[in-house]
Amino acid sequence: MATALGASARAWTGSAEVAQRGTTGLQRQGRIPAHGSLRTGRCRGVVAMRVAQRTEPELYDGIANFYDESSGVWEEVWGEHMHHGYYDDEVVDDAVAAATNGAPDHRRAQIKMIEKSLAYAGVPDSIDARPKTIVDVGCGIGGSSRYLARKYKAKVNSITLSPVQVKRAVDITYKQGLAELVNFQVANALKQPFQDGSFDLVWSMESGEHMPDKKQFMGELARVAAPGGRIILVTWCHRDLLPGEKSLKPDEQELLNKICDAYYLPAWCSPSDYVTLAKDLGLQDIKNEDWSEYVTPFWPAVMKSALSVQGLMGLAKSGWTTVKGALAMTLMIQGYQRGLIKFAAITARKPE
């Protein structure tokens, strides 16, 4: 997941498959199980009200439809990277300077997010040690996939629930001359179509928040990682519980419920929950860091783009699902301001 809060009409896709697809169709494609329930592994303090009313098939279908509808305008306004930007002093200073001309360089901040994640995980750049095989879990339209393939000259396999995103990713990748390095397919991150130990680098940029079973999700990331391979997970979380707390406060849960309703998210978990799952899987070199302060300018910038002429035209053509996503942007800002939502970077290494 990557995050995509723009809007586009279903007609933009030109895909009869998308217009006709329902839960049954997703099941036939093997993207979701025939029956499912919400599970969160060992996550504590999870949201359990309105979220729990959706089954896994409903979640997967909603996620796919959301990104089918919204990816087009997001790309038009923000480009190929469908995730937060990382605003350190260098990027912020450049953005402020550029703002005098009305064009802050938010796209540079998105590239900075990728580079910061790689550096945090200690992914080597040397020819003999750099990753040769990579999986991008929740690839969007392939921005990270192509960036990583180009940076490391690596083979990249990329998966998403959205057939519209796959089609667009393939088109862009072909035009950029990277078709021999990057492959895209519709697949479920909780049941990845790859053999054990396939990848030197397992990459998940803002897709973990969509996973209804965090334990299974982490298990799949670990399973497909090669011995010694690195795992990078950058995702939305709720705050860690304080000593003595057994759950989030009712008003915090209610705010997350509203966000979940808009973005087809299952129950949230905390960064420490992910760390616990990583330890349970026997992963090594586990690190966890809160990057919330470095993504502060992102959501206001997304709101501004949504209210631009270009964004409003996209919203006018979109369905209610995408409109709800746009309206929920203020809720995300509230969550960050209250310290409830955390933008977490988690890395680990699979034992040799």
Q: pLDDT by residue (tens digit) across 299-312?
A: 777 767 666 545 45
240 Cβ neighbours under 8 A, 6+ residues apart: 270, 271, 272, 342
The beta strands (E) that lie in 222-310 are given as: 225-238, 284-290
The pLDDT assigned to 207 comes to 94
Both tokens of 307, joined, read: 């209210």
The pLDDT assigned to 184 comes to 98
Dist CA 104 CA 295 (whole Å): 14
Residue pair 315/250 in contact by the 8 Å Cβ criterion: no
The beta strands (E) that lie in 138-280 are given as: 155-160, 182-186, 199-205, 225-238
Dist CA 160 CA 144 (whole Å): 13
Look up the pTM and report it: 0.80
Backbone angles phi, psi at 321, to 5 degrees: -55, -45
Please return the burial class of 219, using the count of CB atoms within 10 Å of its CB with bins 0-12, 13-18 and 19+. middle
Dist CA 317 CA 69 (whole Å): 10
The pLDDT assigned to 193 comes to 98
The pLDDT assigned to 155 comes to 98
Strand order in the sheet with 133-137: 182-186, 155-160, 133-137, 199-205, 225-238, 341-349, 284-290
Dihedral angle, C-alpha 89, 91, 94, 95, nearest 10 °: -110
Dist CA 66 CA 126 (whole Å): 39
pLDDT by 10s per residue, the chain, length 352: 433 323 222 222 222 232 233 333 333 333 333 333 334 444 544 444 444 467 777 776 766 666 666 666 666 666 788 889 999 877 666 655 555 454 457 788 899 999 999 999 999 999 999 999 999 999 999 999 999 999 999 999 999 999 999 999 999 999 999 999 999 999 999 999 999 999 999 999 999 999 999 999 999 999 999 999 999 999 999 999 999 999 999 999 999 999 998 888 899 999 999 999 999 999 999 999 999 999 988 877 776 766 654 545 554 455 545 555 667 788 999 999 999 999 999 999 999 9
The pLDDT assigned to 28 comes to 31
Q: How many CB atoms within 10 Å of residue 313?
A: 15
Residue pair 66/138 in contact by the 8 Å Cβ criterion: no
